[in-house]
Amino acid sequence: MPSATSTPAEGGPRVLAHPSRDAIRLEDVLHALADPVRLGIVRVLADAEGECSCSVFDAPVSKSTLTHHFRVLREHGVITQTYRGTAKMNALRRDDLAELFPGLLDTVLAAARRQAAAGLSAGAAAAGATSPS
């Protein structure tokens, strides 16, 4: 993988590395979605309108561990992350995932919601948002 963050020589904004659509692999997406905390993050992003800053996620892990989970999701092609000032904004790569793996994201999200409703998912509250703004 390329460097996770780069700063242009002219002092411009930091840019986070993301895989191109063609570089996203099914096994990487499934790995990223297999963790309950990451699946919780994806559920929050799926329900949000637009982007969410990292600060809206209330997960039962340390800040550094949450940062790791966001990095896994980004590096595996599930989310995009961009800086807006000092905030890191997150959004699902819904269009890319739908193009590459039709129905996968919706199927996984529907199954996660069913499990959470039945109280079967340890990740049901693993990444609940305090507010999706």
CA 28 to chain CA centroid, Å, is 13
Nearby residues of 63 by Cβ (< 8 Å), 6 or more positions away: none
Q: What is the pLDDT of residue 15?
A: 84
Q: What tens-digit pLDDT sequence spans the chain (133 residues)?
A: 444 444 444 555 688 899 999 999 999 999 999 999 999 999 999 999 889 998 788 888 888 899 999 999 999 999 999 998 888 999 999 999 999 999 999 999 999 999 988 886 544 444 454 444 4
Closest CA to 18 of 64, 72, 61, 58: 72
Q: What is the pLDDT of residue 119?
A: 83
DSSP character at residue 61:
S
**Amino acid identity at 33:** L
Residue 61 buriedness (CB in 10 A; 0-12 / 13-18 / 19+): middle
